[in-house]
Amino acid sequence: MSANKHFNVKWGMAIDLDKCTGCGACMVACQAENNLAPLADASNKQRVPNWLVVYELSNKKSFPDHEIAYLPRPCQQCAEQPCATVCPVVATERNEEGGIVSQIYPRCIGCRYCMAACPYHARCFNWFDPVWPKGMEKALTPDVSTRPRGVVEKCTFCHHRFMQAKDKVRAGGGEVYVRGTDNKLHCAVPEDGYVTSCAEVCPNGAIVFGDLNNPEHRVHRLVTGNANAFRLLERLGTDTAVYYISRREWVRRLGDNYLPDEDTQKPKQILPKRH
Amino acid sequence: MEEKTNCTESPACRQKCAAALLPFLGGFIAALVLGWLVIPSLLFDSETQPLLFSHATHMKKAGAVCLDCHSVRSDGSFTGIPQNDVCMSCHNGILTPEPGQGASPVEKAAYQAEKSFVENYLNPGKPVPWRKHQYQPQNVFFSHPAHFQKCYTCHLTMQGRLNLGTPENPQKLCATCHVSLEKLDRDAPVETNILTGYSSGTLKMSECERCHANPGHFYADGRGRTFANNACFTCHK
Amino acid sequence: MAPNYIPPADAALIPQDCERGPLSCFALWLGALSVILLIGVYAAYLVLSRGLGMTALDDYFGFGLWITFDLGVIALGAGAFFTGLLRYILNIDPLKNVINLAVIIGFICYTGAMIVLVLDIGQPLRAWFGYWHANVHSMLTEVIFCITCYCIVLIIEYIPLILEQKQINRVPLFHAIAHNLHVVMPLFAGMGAFLSTFHQGSLGGMYGVLFGRPYAFRDGFFIWPWTFFLFILSAVASGPALTMLIAALMEKMTGRKLVSQDVKMLMGKIAGTMLLVYTVFKILDTGAWICGLAPSAGLTFDQFFYGWIYGKWLLFAEIALCGVLPCFMLCSASMRANPRLLYAAAVLDCTGVVINRYVLTVQTLAMPSMPFDQWATYVPNWVEWAPCFLVLAYGGILLSLSYRYLPVFPQEVELNGGQRPGSKPNTWGL
Amino acid sequence: MGFDRRAFLKIAAGASAGIMVTPVPWKLLDDVSIWSQNWSWIPVPARGASTYAEVFSKMDPFGVPMKIRKVGGLPVRVLPLPEHPLGGGLSPLSIAEVQMLYSPGRLRRPLLRGADGKLTEISWPQASKKLQDELKNAGGKAAFISGDETSSVTEVLSAFANALGSEDMYLMPSEAQSAAKAAELMGIDARLGYDIEQSDHLLAVGANILENWGTVLRNRRVFANSRPHSFRKDGGEETGDSLSLVYAGPVQNNTAAVAGAWLPVYPGTEGILALGMANMLIEAGKTVAARDFEEFKALASAYTPEKTAELTGVDGKKLEAEVARLLTAQKPLLIVGSSAGGGAGPIMAGVAVNALLGNINKPGGLVLLPKAAKVLKGASDLAEIYRNDLIKFFEREEKPALLLIHEANPAFALPNAQACAAALKAVPFKVCFSTFMDETAALCDLILPLGMGLERLDDVETPYGSGKIGYCISTAVGRPDAGVLNTANVILNIARRLGKDLGFELYADILKAKAGLYGKGGDPLAGGFAVESAERAEAGAFSFRPEVLGKALAPDEARGKLRLAVYGRASLGTDKTGIPPYNNKTLRADELAGSLMSVLLNRATAARNNLADGDKVSLESGGGKIVARVRVFEGIINDTAGVCRGFGHTALDEFSRDKGANVMEVVRPVPEPETGLNFWAKAGVDIKKA
């Protein structure tokens, strides 16, 4: 829980907003992969458990100069988490190689303080017990545990896939962490050996997943030194692991709060750190 | 009532006070008996296996090792309790000769069990509803390959008690967490906690933490390394 | 004793020389409160058996009425620790006349908050994880520890009062316990002050550390954001005011003098003084927030407010109407001397603190955190209101019982001594 | 000392103290919290070994190959199959197919409507016998509708219809039908295909190619591959794309969101836009050696840039720019289409533009694909079946004696849905093979449960929009206990019993024979299998047919206060499936609030109609009426109301029901002049505050 723990491996995403058409495949895949229950009425969006939400962005101009973009928002896996630091029972933490913020359902007491803390609305609460139509529970995957009412859940970058990928390496006799050509420790799981469900199903390849610290991974190359890459609410200093890419200036500007006369390109003032 | 305040010296009064304490003591002792002896046993249901299964026969007589029946798949997942097809690799038919007149009850029981297995499960293709001593809670991801790999980093070459066998025959390593069954002719009944649904053999997290929370392993002086991470996500899903 | 006084059926239990209404009236009053209580129990049953989905809370408003209520009653219950501190540690002797009441109110507020908290957490069966698996970095952990510890302190402070009940006190053991507890009470008052200061602060800290929520986030001193200190100050500024108000309310309802006016004025003066300190710091804090933090987060002042429901009037009401104004009123000796103005100021004082707790809880969460997000609104439903009224009814019952059977007010006999020709009839029958 | 209240209290106190020094309270405290992890009413996923099977989605019409993950033999997940020629990613519908195996709307037993109008469960042999008897009685007066144009089941039904002497064999209206008609009219004896892989500039007119037009996954993969993730060093240059995409249409839809430019045009004027572009291309010197080029040139010359801009609402400068881009691009390609009901005329105009661009049968151009192979001798060609217009059939006074519907939901999907449902009701005996209890099934007299794609053996032949001939066989991977049968097998069996030999006994044999025709030997049914062929057909006697085009595209008077733009979203499923279980969660609050869906109006249009964001309005046309909530959205052209299709199911399951209204209820089909089809892209509506 110490501040901004450094890990050799930092799983992250680069989401290309110029490729995302907002079809929602990632949202559906996420639910099937992570055993979320369907809802007959899902129109109250503040009560709908969705680990990944696709927002529609608008450049706020009138027809015909109007433009739209879609922004998928998984858990941002902050290195400086607003959430984990406030959890009273260590049900959520960022403490494992890879830098994924965990969420432990049997530990969570459901106080929802983490939800109040998260500015990305990445966390959802189980307001009721999950209900699957009769028989549909047979389509649950054994990879992710089902959650009862009264606990908070969130995107885990399909962490179970990371566990499975590591086991595959081990079952093949390999070591999970190996020294790369840059003499740093990297994960021996091949780049396509661990991919989140949302990234996997996106037909547009809008979501690129990999190790931000590994120079051989696409995601590293995409976000390093790319002036078109930005992160959400960067000035909060959350140091998130999810990057967004857009060549459209107005889209990039929607990544953070700016005063009307402020320049997006200006180095951002990071709010003072708390923890 | 009023006189009570002045009676502390008189023996009769002391007797009276002691008598007054008796119900308290009675309740206290009754609670102790209930709490230590009666209630804990009420908390568990006991179930026997559907078939007599002897780990001793398989391991001692047939010379099997753990991994022959409980193995790691190529994707790294663990098979757990074997399916019939694993049994079938040996038990095409009934292997035990039909016991004669003078056969011991043990032999007769073994024959009956195998016969029942072949006739009731193997041939109709029904899985045997084995009761599980240690079934992972659904929120736990336990990696067998990780433990094989990491524990053997040291224990393969260690001597004596600390030698935990080899990756090919990891019986002693298995027995570190699992009930040691190789000497049992009859599987012990499975005790299930009626409240939690877990068997009594299910490890508590504290038992995982004996290694995971102690990078210095069991030694206070820091000898040995567990290679274990105690992050929640190491084991939870 | 009034000449026409008929001792009620339970006279044997009633403190010496104190007039109380007929038992039947009292039972009726308790019955009415119990109905409210039972509605709350039903709402609690719904929440515990079906889930928090029965409330109007949602993923944006994980905190809502209940947390506002908890924070409100805990702040207003601060009269207990602060009066205790002043009475036992700083030896402000006149406060002995309200200390019992302050303790009871504190006890009601804290236990009431705990009742609501049990409903508010999704997995109450795991509530003990807060101790067993504590995260020492979380302000909430500090809150959990301090509130429960302080609750025990309040129980210990309440016990001697119960043991002083006429019949119980006849048992020598209980008499001895009560006496000895009184002797060590300064120790508990000290502990209470320590624990209470920290959890009041931590409750404020809970919001101040939310660096993802610019409405609540504050800079601070060492690990404590300014809200930490503001919460302590606002609690001590409003706690005594509420204690005094409840004393006045009880006098109205029972028709008997319970606390002398000079003691009430003293409480008002204490509240006013603390409110002055609080308001000064609150204004400074608000200024720094608007001029410093907000622009550095890329936000303008206007962006913190939305429509009528989360409008700027709330800020005005909190700071000017319910901060500066009552502060002025309470600090002025002449205004304090006028009971109506004294009570009005106290009401404003308490309201201001409740508004503060409300906006920090609800408006913080309602405000869009991402630029493409939208304001959300929250209106609690009856399932949330009912447990709050349950706590109020529970408090009413506890106060009524305490007043009837326990020697809560040392001045009561003296103030209502013998002949009071002008005394009002005991209208409420309590 | 007797046992009094005081003694009891003392015992209780003693017991309380005693129990605290036993493990009981602490163990219970712990166990109770563990219990809260394992509540018996929360399902626990089953465990087992993971196995994988490759299949092709039969539910998603836009070409979705997929890999099914099974655990312990039961399917649990749909995963992408990037190795497949059409693969890469998944659609929001296909991902939920495993969950839909257990949809509450599934049909599991044959149902027969009794004289009292109630449905009762019957056995498959009873159902089969009943169907056989009814078909025997109906004979040549039986009619057939297939909702699956890529499957060989359609061929079986066609062969059977022909054997019975029935001429009423229909497919649900589709883009493929309009395209087939366009090709036929222009003298092209082939199917239209689009080689987008090799194109460098793609202008999609009305075709929402990244969401619900053509082979969507393939389209999207091509789009993704052509567009490297943008990378710009501070002050540096932008990375370039290998394919530029422009979308023209009334609504700024999912394709427009990522297209390089959005060209707003009025709904139903896509053909005119193409014609206007043709004119400008001819002006720029483009010609085609066709017998009626001069007549076409004369027709096109009427659509001057000014006239085109006026009729389509397109910005004149933008139009010029787009034509210039078509001229400068190396391999430009124009795709004209709609989500359905656009008619053949616009597609003809599109073919004309492509012909002018000289890209027909060229890499990156409009390609002509050979016709689908057939193995049943008695079956009609797909192109012949496409000639039959289903809307005309429903409008016909004289009803067939029996109507057999396979995998289609005309009561929901066709324009003027209520009239269709009424016409359906008038048919004496209606049979449907359906996976779900949909709106059409609910009207039928005999309802036969059809396996979902995952539960049946079926094939997919060249979905429309593909640039190559492709053939895939999909095997059953789903639940063995589904209680479903394959339509083709039931029909083959009945045909045999009625003495009509169709040449095959089992559907599997038909698929094997077909796989052989497409060049795959061995056991094609062994697993997911796909062949692809780049074979091209000849253009034949290509002509522009300006006399047809001119009438088909002629602008006509407005049909309401506002033009109606019907758009679609992939996550809403299809007319047959309804909204898959998870997918209503993908809808935003501005798309569906409670049970009220949105109608899109731009600010100016809303203001002109005295409407504001959030107003509840009714949309009316020709007696039909739906209710919606105004969403002011600047991504829609003026004087146009945008309504999403796929809402308003009244049957199916709770994930589809009570959500919005079916826009097809206010859409009225009109005959397209000269083409013999009905179309409904030019619908209009009146809007009123409700």
Provide the mean pLDDT of chain D: 91
φ, ψ (nearest 5 deg) of residue C212? -90, -5
**What per-residue confidence (pLDDT) applies to D601?**
97
**In the numeric block, which tokens belong to residue C379?**
């209106």
Residue D188 phi, psi (nearest 5): -95, 120
Q: Specify the range with the lowest mean pLDDT, choosing from A237-246, B3-12, B180-189, D357-366.
A: B3-12
C-alpha A4/C-alpha D670 separation (Å) is 65
A91 touches chain D (CB under 8 A): no
Lookup result for tokens 């890469």: D88
Predicted confidence (pLDDT) per residue in C128-179, tens digit:
999 999 999 899 998 888 888 889 989 988 988 998 888 888 888 888 888 8
Whether residue C16 is contained in a domain is answered as no
Cα gap C396→C390, rounded to integer Å:
10
Terminal alpha carbon distance of chain D? 83
Interface check for C137 against chain B (CB to CB < 8 A): the answer is no
Q: Is C63 on the interface with A (CB under 8 A)?
A: yes
Closest among D677, D688, D623, D544 to D172, alpha carbons compared = D677
Residue C399 lies in a domain: no
What's the rounded Cα separation, in Å, for the pair B8 and B13?
Answer: 7
SS3 A242: strand
Q: Identify which of A6, A23, A46 has the alpha carbon closest to the alpha carbon of residue A202.
A: A23
**Domain contains B138:** yes
Query: Helix, strand, coil proportions of chain A in percent (round to 5)?
Result: 20, 15, 65
Contact residues on chain C for D30, CB-CB shorter than 8 A: none
pLDDT the model gives residue A267:
59
Region of residue A68 (left: phi > 0; alpha: psi -120 to 50; beta: else): beta
User: CB of D92 within 8 A of CB of D67?
Assistant: no
Q: What is the pLDDT of residue D295?
A: 94
- Residue A48 confidence class, pLDDT cut points 50, 70, 90: very high
CB D348, CB D127: distance < 8 Å: no
pLDDT digits (tens, 9 = 90+) for D486-499: 899 999 999 999 99
**Smallest Cα–Cα separation from C268: which of C248, C285, C288?**
C248
Lowest mean pLDDT among C27-41, C42-56, D2-16: D2-16
Of D402 and B19, the structure prediction assigns the larger pLDDT to D402
Q: How far apart are CA B204 and CA B132, in angstroms?
A: 16
Distance from CA of C128 to the nearest CA of A (A): 9
Judged by CB atoms closer than 8 Å, whether chains meet at D35 and C123 is answered as no
Q: Is the pLDDT of residue C424 over 50?
A: no
Residue B38 belongs to what domain range? 2-42
Q: Which of D19, D17, D14, D4 is nearest to B23 (CA)?
A: D14
The pLDDT of A9-18, averaged and rounded, is 96
When mean pLDDT is compared across C6-10, C67-71, D609-613, the lowest value belongs to C6-10
State the greatest distance between any 2 C-alpha atoms of chain C, in Å, as a whole number. Answer: 74
Q: Does pLDDT of B2 surpass 60?
A: no
Classify residue C391: in a domain, yes or no: no
For B75, the closest of A142, A146, A168 (CB atoms) is: A168
What pLDDT is attached to residue B211?
Answer: 84
ipTM for the predicted complex comes to 0.93
DSSP assignment letter at B169: S
* B229: exposed, middle or buried (Cβ count in 10 Å: 0-12, 13-18, 19+): middle
Average pLDDT of C189-206? 90
**E strands of A6-160, at which residues?**
11-16, 53-58, 68-73, 123-125, 152-154
Question: What is the interface size between A and B, counted as CB pairs within 8 Å?
Answer: 74
Determine the pLDDT at residue C166: 86
Give the pairing type, strands D616-621 and D624-632. Answer: antiparallel
Q: Of all helices (H) and strands (E), which one includes residue B65? A: none
The stretches of D227-368 forming alpha helices (DSSP H) are 254-258, 270-283, 293-301, 305-312, 316-328, 345-357
Instruction: Give the mean model confidence (pLDDT) for residues A15-19.
Output: 96
Please choose, from the candidates D666, D657, D665, D663, the residue with its C-alpha nearest in 3D space to the C-alpha of residue D595.
D657
Q: Which residues contact C326 (CB under 8 A, 6 or more apart)?
A: C272, C275, C344, C345, C346, C348, C349, C352
Three-state DSSP state, D418: helix
Quick one: which H or E segment has residue D124?
A: helix D124-138
Q: How far apart are CA D127 and CA D111, in angstroms?
A: 8
- Domain membership of residue B76 (yes or no) is no
Cis preceding-peptide flag for A72 (omega within 30 of 0): no
Helix (H) or strand (E) run with residue D688 in it: strand D684-689
Say which residues have a Cβ less than 8 Å from residue D2's Cβ, sequence separation at least 6: none
**Beta carbons within 8 Å of D539's beta carbon, 6+ residues apart:** D188, D190, D360, D361, D368
Between CA D95 and CA A274 the distance in angstroms is: 42
Average pLDDT over residues B7-26: 71
pLDDT in tens, D190-246: 999 999 999 999 999 999 999 999 999 999 999 999 999 988 887 777 777 889 999
Averaged pLDDT for residues D292-301: 94
Distance CA D132, CA D130 (A): 5
Q: What is the pLDDT of residues D164-191, one digit of tens each?
A: 999 999 999 999 999 999 999 999 989 9
Residue D94 main-chain phi, psi, to 5 deg: -65, -30
Residue B57 inside a domain? The answer is no
Which chains have 3+ CB pairs within 8 A of B?
A, C, D
With contact defined as 3+ CB pairs under 8 Å, the chains touching A are B, C, D
CA distance C102 to C122: 32
Contacting residues of A for D48, CB less than 8 Å apart? 142
**Chains near C (3 or more Cβ pairs under 8 Å):** A, B, D
Percent of chain C at pLDDT exceeding 70: 96
Q: What is the pLDDT of residues B96-115, one digit of tens each?
A: 777 777 788 888 888 888 88
Largest CA distance in chain A: 60
CA gap B82, D571 in Å, rounded: 41
pLDDT tens sequence across C359-417 = 999 999 999 999 999 999 999 999 999 999 999 999 999 999 999 999 999 888 888 87
Pairing of strands A11-16, A242-245: parallel
Q: Distance (Å) from the C-alpha of residue B27 to the closest C-alpha of chain D?
A: 4
Closest to B234 (Cβ–Cβ): which among A96, A169, A172?
Answer: A96
**CA C76 remoteness from chain centre:** 3
Give kind and range of the element (H or E) at residue A100: none
* pLDDT for D441: 95
Q: Is A237 exposed, middle or buried (0-12, 13-18, 19+ CB in 10 A)?
A: buried
Q: Give phi and psi for D208, each to the nearest 5.
A: -85, 70
Distance of CA D18 to the CA centre of its chain: 71
The one-character DSSP state at D475 is -
- Cβ–Cβ below 8 Å for D22 and B27: no
| Interchain pair B232, A102: CB under 8 A | yes
Is there a contact between D349 and D336 (Cβ–Cβ < 8 Å)? yes
Average pLDDT of chain C is: 91
Shortest Cα distance from D23 to chain A (angstroms)? 22
Residue C46 lies in a domain: no
Overall domain count for chain C: 1
Binary contact (C170, B4; C-beta < 8 A): no
Nearest CA in chain B to A141: B138
CATH of residue C324: 1.20.1630.10
Q: Looking at the predicted structure, is the pLDDT value of residue D528 above 60?
A: no
- Number of domains composing chain B: 2
> What tens digit of pLDDT does each residue of C55-79 get?
999 999 999 999 999 999 999 999 8
- CA dist B194 → B39, B191, D32 (Å): 12, 9, 11
Of residues B197 and A5, more confidence is placed in: B197
Nearest to A153 by CA among A110, A209, A215: A110
Q: Which residue has the higher pLDDT, D640 or B58?
A: D640
The dihedral through the CA atoms of B88, B91, B93, B94 has a sign that is: negative
For residue C107, what are the domain limits?
57-368
Reply yes or no on whether the pLDDT at B216 is more than 80.
no
Phi-psi label, residue D80: left if phi above 0, alpha if psi -120 to 50, beta otherwise: beta
Contact of C176 with chain B, judged by CB distance below 8 Å, is answered with no
Banded model confidence at residue D316, pLDDT cuts 50, 70, 90: very high
Q: Which of D48, D21, D157, D96 is nearest to D490 (CA)?
A: D157
Identify the band that residue A137 occupies on the pLDDT scale cut at 50, 70 and 90: very high
Q: Which of D28, D29, D35 to mutate to test the interface with B (most CBs of B within 10 A)?
A: D35
Instruction: Check D18 against B36: CB less than 8 A apart.
Output: no
Confidence at D606, pLDDT banded by 50, 70, 90: very high
Q: Is residue C17 part of a domain?
A: no
A vs D: CB pairs below 8 A: 257
The answer on pLDDT for B6 being more than 70 is no
CA dist C296 and A268 (Å) reads 9
From C313, C330, C314, C243, select the one nearest C278 (Cα to Cα). C330
Closest residue in chain D to residue A21, using alpha carbons only:
D254
pLDDT at B1 over 50: no
What's the CA gap between D511 and D492, in Å, rounded? 13
pLDDT value of residue A275: 40
Mean pLDDT of the C285-296 span: 92
**Looking at the domain assignment, is residue B143 inside a domain?**
yes
Which helix (DSSP H) or strand (DSSP E) does residue C370 occupy? none
Bridge partners (DSSP) listed for residue D688: D618
Q: Which domains are delineated in chain A?
A: 11-253 (3.30.70.20)
- pLDDT for the residue numbered B159: 82
pLDDT value for B85: 86
Proportion of chain D above pLDDT 70, given as a percent? 97
Give the pLDDT confidence of D539-577 residue by residue, as tens digits.
Answer: 678 899 999 999 888 877 767 889 999 999 999 999 999
Residues D350-371 pLDDT 10s? 999 999 999 999 999 999 999 8
Strands D169-171 and D142-146: parallel
* Backbone angle region of B8, left / alpha / beta, with phi > 0 → left and psi within -120 to 50 → alpha: alpha
D550 phi and psi angles, rounded to 5 deg = -55, -45
CB spacing of C128 vs D29 below 8 angstroms = yes
* DSSP one-letter code for B188: P
Per-residue HEC secondary structure of A129-164 comes to: CCCCCCCHHHHCCCCCCCCCCCCEEECCCCHHHHHH
pLDDT above 60 for C429: no
Q: Give the pLDDT band (50/70/90) at residue A5.
A: confident
Residue C1 lies in a domain: no
- For chains B and C, CB pairs below 8 A equal 5
Chosen for mutation from A1, A2, A53, A274 (greatest number of chain C CBs closer than 10 Å) is: A274
Contact list in C for residue B17 (CB cut-off 8 A) is none
Q: Is residue B79 part of a domain?
A: no
Nearest CA in chain A to C293: A271
